[in-house]
Amino acid sequence: MTRLSVLDLAPIRQGGDAAEAFQSTRERAQRVEQLGFHRFWLAEHHNMPGVGSSATAVLIGDIAGATQTLRVGSGGVMLPNHAPLVVAEQFGTLASLYPGRIDLGLGRAPGTDPQTIRALRRDRSGGPERFPQDVQELQYWFRPTEPGQPVRAVPGAGLDVPIWILGSSTSSAQLAAALGLPYAFASHFAPGQLMEALDIYRARFQPSGQLDRPYAMVAMNVLAADTEADAAYHFTSAQQQFCEVLRGSPGPLPPPVEDMSRVWTSREQAAVTEALRCSAVGGPDTVRRDVQAFIDSTGADELMIHTLVYEPDVALRSFGIVANVLA
């Protein structure tokens, strides 16, 4: 059976704050652990009022400490924003605190806007174009220390921290294949090159010390409710937030609305619908059908679901339905 996992952004709601968001994220992680989900990942974004997971490693530690068996990790750390040695130390610390439970997913995008990129990167020499070299440098810091090595990751050196390559393009697939690493595709918001990227990854995969065969995870927006109408209603929060991002004015997660035609233009509707087309939204039967069809079409080894709703209890209910219909 295909493994089920969760991607979370610690969403900050309109009228709420980060402390509330972190508590809700903790409760979601505990719920999916009870339901038997495999892993719970958090994604790095910056300067986005609706996303609380900017200090991703810190939040991973909180979630790992609030759970017992769930794998917890980054989906992902945006490596161009960080020195590889610092990432190795952070995740070496997490792996030492929570052995066998920490994943390190890496992305090449900055996860923010150009002005924030400049604020994040004091050294302008780095950037997405250095991503392959930075990944390999990070792998180096996790290797056992060699005699006379002047710099080491403490903690980090010699620890088994699984590295994943994240992406939404064929270039990320090529890198994951060349390095023999597991691959996660961000089809929940950028589905355009999904099938081509998976084909490239599987065809060009080179076995490595971490992985002997391709392992692909795909992401999907999933919102299950008792009725089709309830699911569609609560999904409008995600649609509104994505529309705000397209407009260049992201804000806190808005409450759902009855009529999206009052929120977006026809052009915005088409863009949001295309971006979110890898979605299963509806009652139990609809979600079972659409999720299974997506797994069958992609041949995914693992499905990472993203459930973005305004009311925390709605997400918890959705996870329960998904676990039941896909058991």
Q: What is the amino acid identity at position 256?
A: P
Output the pLDDT for position 125. Answer: 57
Summary count for the chain: helices (H), strands (E): 11, 9
In this structure, of 46-60, 107-121, 251-265, 269-283, the range with the lowest mean pLDDT score is 107-121
Q: How far apart are CA 269 and CA 276, in angstroms?
A: 10
pLDDT score recorded for residue 327: 80
Q: What is the mean pLDDT of the chain?
A: 95
DSSP state of 154: T
Q: Which residue(s) pair with 253 in the sheet?
A: 13
**pLDDT value, residue 221:** 98
Give the pLDDT of residue 118. Answer: 72
CA nearest neighbour of 187 among 61, 297, 53: 297
pLDDT score for 21: 98
- For residues 220 and 303, what is the distance between their CA atoms, to the nearest angstrom? 7
Cβ within 8 Å of residue 18, ≥6 positions away: 10, 12, 52
Q: In 10 A of CB 188, how many CB atoms?
A: 23
> How does pLDDT run across 70-79, given as a tens digit for each residue?
999 999 999 9
- CA 134 to each of CA 94, 115, 129: distance values in angstroms, whole numbers, following the listed order: 20, 22, 10
Distance CA 148, CA 164 (A): 29
Tokens of 222: 């999933």
Cis peptide before 144 (omega within 30 of 0): no
The stretch 280-288 carries a mean pLDDT of 98
Fold held by 3-221+298-325:
TIM Barrel (3.20.20)
pLDDT of residue 210: 96
The CA radius of gyration of the chain, in Å to the nearest whole number, is: 19
Phi, psi of 181 (to 5 degrees): -115, 155
What is the predicted pLDDT for the residue at 280?
98
What pLDDT shows up at residue 295?
Answer: 97
**How far is it, in rounded angstroms, from Cα 134 to Cα 114?**
21
SS3 label, residue 133:
helix
Residue 127 pLDDT exceeds 90 = no
What pLDDT was estimated at residue 7?
98
Could you give the CA distance from residue 218 to residue 49 in angstroms, rounded to a whole number? 26
Q: When comparing pLDDT for 72 and 116, which is higher?
A: 72
Cβ count near 20 (within 10 Å): 15
What's the pLDDT tens digit per position in 177-228? 999 999 999 999 999 999 999 999 999 999 999 999 999 999 999 999 999 9
Residue in the structure block whose two tokens are 């174009």: 129
Q: Is the pLDDT of residue 126 over 60?
A: no
Whole-number pLDDT of residue 115: 73
Q: Domain spans of the chain?
A: 3-221+298-325
Q: How confident is the model at residue 113 (pLDDT cuts 50, 70, 90)?
A: low
For the segment 117-146, the average pLDDT, to the nearest whole number, is 82
